[in-house]
Structure 1
Amino acid sequence: MNAKSCQIVMDKNVLVVFKLFVVGILVNTLMASGLSATEHMYVLQSGRPQMDLCNETDLLLEMEVCSIHFRLDMARVDPQYWCNLTHIIREYDNFSACTEAGAIHLGCYWPNPLVESYIIGIHRDYFSNCTLERVVWVDPPDDTLAALIVAPVFLTLAMIALVVWRSKRGDVLA
């Protein structure tokens, strides 16, 4: 063999494709590292409090303050409107925001069992009579019921007959 026959001949496009592949890998690596917020120290901590900092005694006092404010707000609303959300939404939203802000300020998760007990207490005191009457389902008239049963049965039979008829006529159309 001579020296000319041993030379490797590369297609010009192979080098371009290889360069694009390498650049793609580098870009992907840089983007993936940029999306990971845990690697960067300057990223602010999320609003998620640490569980070991929760002071339950202070949380109970804070929930009591929120409860007192809610009770004062609800005293201004006529009791006949307590079950109408449009009349009490502002008061309930203020109570919910108060409990959330208090829990997060004290380093507690929201909601947690202590906050939930206050929320359940508020619901028991103000909204226990707000359940709607039970809906009684009534059967439709016999004519309507018969039509609703017979129509799908006949439609199913018709489709089966159509498939059988078309399969027998397959040789004529082929």
Structure 2
Amino acid sequence: MAHTVSLSVYTAQVFPTVSGCNRGYYERAINDFCLAKFKLDMGGLDRGLYCSWTDTMEIYEGLTNCTYQVALRMDCFWPNQIVDRFFMSIHRIYFHDCAVTGRLLQEPPNSILAPFIGVPVLVTLIMTALVVWRSKRTEGVL
């Protein structure tokens, strides 16, 4: 049993180097590239808009994509503990005053929602009318 534990510890220590990921370089890269761009973009926003998902969504998605792209180029797994700590830090600095519900997606506008409701209702009505019309038409044939 002790042999199995030491083998799993050995495997856990070897695995990150096999993947080719240098965690220190990865952490520096996301701080130098991704965080720098994020700070610049967030600096262009009024601080009162930090909790507005519609105003920060594109910037936040850019940050997420940046950490992913850097991970791909550096042969690192994504997401990982470094990314988790990175985003926890981002949230503590930029979004700590935001209510949890303030960051959730909101309902789409009526111009988008109406077709998704109206079209199925219309198709149902048309199909019902078609079935009734077809059944009345075949009554005389039988």
Task: Classify the TM-score, shorter chain.
Answer: 0.5 to 0.7
Aligned to 1:115: 83
SS at match of 1:67: helix
After superposition, give the CA deviation of every residue in 1:23-75 in whole Å (9 maximum; x if it has no partner).
Answer: xxxxxxxxxxxxxxxxxxxxxxxxxxx96211112101211121111011100
Q: 2:24 aligns with which of 57, 65, 77?
A: 57
Distance 1:51 1:117, change over 3 A: farther
Aligned positions, number: 84
Two-structure CA RMSD over aligned residues (Å):
1.7
**1:71-110 counterparts in 2 under 5 A?**
71-110=39-78
Please report how far the alpha carbon of residue 128 of structure 1 lies from its aligned counterpart in structure 2 after TM superposition.
0.9
- Quick one: distance in 2 between partners of 1:63 and 1:122? 12
Instruction: Say which structure is richer in helix.
Output: 2
After superposition, give the CA deviation of every residue in 1:103-148 in whole Å (9 maximum; x if it has no partner).
Answer: 1110111110011111111111011110258xxxxxxxxxxxxxxx
**1:7-156 counterparts in 2 under 5 A?**
52-64=19-31, 65-131=33-99
- Quick one: distance in 2 between partners of 1:98 and 1:84? 21
Distance 1:90 1:113, change over 3 A: same
- Higher RCO, Cα 8 Å, sep 6+: 2
Superposition TM-score, scaled by structure 2 size: 0.55
Greater Rg by CA? 1
Distance 1:120 1:51, change over 3 A: farther
Superposition TM-score, scaled by structure 1 size: 0.46
SS at match of 2:25: helix
After superposition, give the CA deviation of every residue in 1:85-109 in whole Å (9 maximum; x if it has no partner).
Answer: 0001111011000000001110111
Residues 51, 107 of structure 1: 8 Å contact kept:
no
- Quick one: distance in 1 between partners of 2:93 and 2:18? 30
